Copies of this chain bind each other. A is one copy, B any other.
Amino acid sequence: MSRIVNVAAAQLGPIHRTDSRRAVVARLLEHLRNAHAMGCQLVVFPELALTTFFPRWYVEDQAEMDAYYEAEMPGPETRILFETAAQLRIGFYIGYAELAVENGVKRRYNTSILVDQSGKIIGKYRKVHLPGHAQNEPWRAFQHLEKYYFEPGSSFDVWRGFDGIMGMALCNDRRWSETYRVMGLQGVEMIMMGYNTPVHNPPAPEHDDLSMFHNQLVMQAGAYQNGTWVVGVAKAGNEEGCEMIGGSCIIAPSGEIVAACSTKGDELAIARCDLDLCRSYKTTTFNFERHRRPEAYSLITERRGAIEPEALPA
């Protein structure tokens, strides 16, 4: 048996602060058309794929801030993406900054959506693991103010689509094993994951040379340990003076990288993904029902931070 979905990891090079939505959308459309020409049914774009990675600056002015967010999806500048998707019969995942109004209150999320081959939104995800900090910290070479610009989402869901069970996450989510496991417990077969990852991490520059290694390690482990495809897609390159890692790739349920980008610009990596390859992991080594032991896992949900054991009495 096989259930093939042809997937494109649609990496983007930098998006500059002054780039218009129209210019960015033109690049996304180019990716859609090229992926369609290669026989793809699904294109995965990065996190915050419509703008520069604005959490690197501290902005207080509301109007200036709002310009980075989408108040509707599709909106006037993004509708063409959905129309083109429907025409080409190609679905997509895309990340963007979402401005929602809930019970009369403005709310801001780091969001992704999954659009099917008819151009219809079939799933929305709001980023759970917001990295960085909530206050301006001028000592940093650049800010990482996701905890200032966004509220966290509260769940990892999956959706039926593309003949399988699809999941979404964003950037820092990929470093947390819980992200994959919560979706694995819902039978996920492909996790799409856009990211913006600076090479330099101001609080821990001693890890900078390992940023690509860590990027691959966490996604490969998440794929293998849950028997799922993982599609990780970067916004890469030098964006407004900040170097971002590339390394977009498609990872099989074996944990093996089967397609990868090698530039820091707009680039497609393509794989013919058989969702039925998940089965040989999900039914053997990672047959959760047979082998998991939730009774030993209670700290994972009882405790947020680490608590060290008491020191032994002297």
Interface residues of A, Cβ cutoff 8 Å to B: 128-131, 152-156, 158-160, 165, 172, 175-178, 180-182, 184-187, 201, 203-204, 206-207, 210, 213-214, 217-218, 220-221, 224-225, 254-256, 280-309, 311-312
Contact status of A255 and B291, CB under 8 A, knowing A282-B306, A308-B187:
no
Please, how many angstroms separate the alpha-carbon atoms of A148 and B173 in the complex? 38
Instruction: Please state if B309 and A158 are interface contacts (CB–CB under 8 Å).
Output: yes
Instruction: Please state if A178 and B255 are interface contacts (CB–CB under 8 Å).
Output: no
Instruction: Please state if A288 and B305 are interface contacts (CB–CB under 8 Å).
Output: yes
Measured between C-beta atoms, what is the minimum distance from A121 to chain B in Å? Answer: 14
Contact status of A186 and B309, CB under 8 A, knowing A177-B177, A201-B284, A255-B213:
yes
Please, how many angstroms separate the alpha-carbon atoms of A298 and B131 in the complex? 21
Measured between C-beta atoms, what is the minimum distance from A58 to chain B in Å? Answer: 19
Out of B153, B175, B225, B295, which one reaches A176, CB within 8 Å? B225
Please, how many angstroms separate the alpha-carbon atoms of A198 and B9 in the complex? 35
Instruction: Please state if B207 and A217 are interface contacts (CB–CB under 8 Å).
Output: no
CB neighbours of A303 from chain B (8 A): 185, 294
Greatest chain B CB density within 10 A among A177, A254, A295, A308 is at: A177
Please, how many angstroms separate the alpha-carbon atoms of A304 and B303 in the complex? 19
CB neighbours of A128 from chain B (8 A): 293, 296
Instruction: Please state if B295 and A154 are interface contacts (CB–CB under 8 Å).
Output: yes
Instruction: Please state if A182 and B296 are interface contacts (CB–CB under 8 Å).
Output: yes
Out of B296, B305, B307, B312, which one reaches A292, CB within 8 Å? B305
Instruction: Please state if B308 and A155 are interface contacts (CB–CB under 8 Å).
Output: no
Please, how many angstroms separate the alpha-carbon atoms of A73 and B221 in the complex? 36
Measured between C-beta atoms, what is the minimum distance from A6 to chain B in Å? Answer: 22
Please, how many angstroms separate the alpha-carbon atoms of A312 and B50 in the complex? 30
Please, how many angstroms separate the alpha-carbon atoms of A214 and B223 in the complex? 11
Greatest chain B CB density within 10 A among A159, A207, A300, A312 is at: A300
Out of B224, B288, B308, which one reaches A214, CB within 8 Å? B224
Out of B159, B304, B309, which one reaches A159, CB within 8 Å? B309
Instruction: Please state if B304 and A186 are interface contacts (CB–CB under 8 Å).
Output: no
Measured between C-beta atoms, what is the minimum distance from A153 to chain B in Å? Answer: 8
CB neighbours of A182 from chain B (8 A): 296-297, 299-300
Measured between C-beta atoms, what is the minimum distance from A184 to chain B in Å? Answer: 6
CB neighbours of A175 from chain B (8 A): 225, 285-286
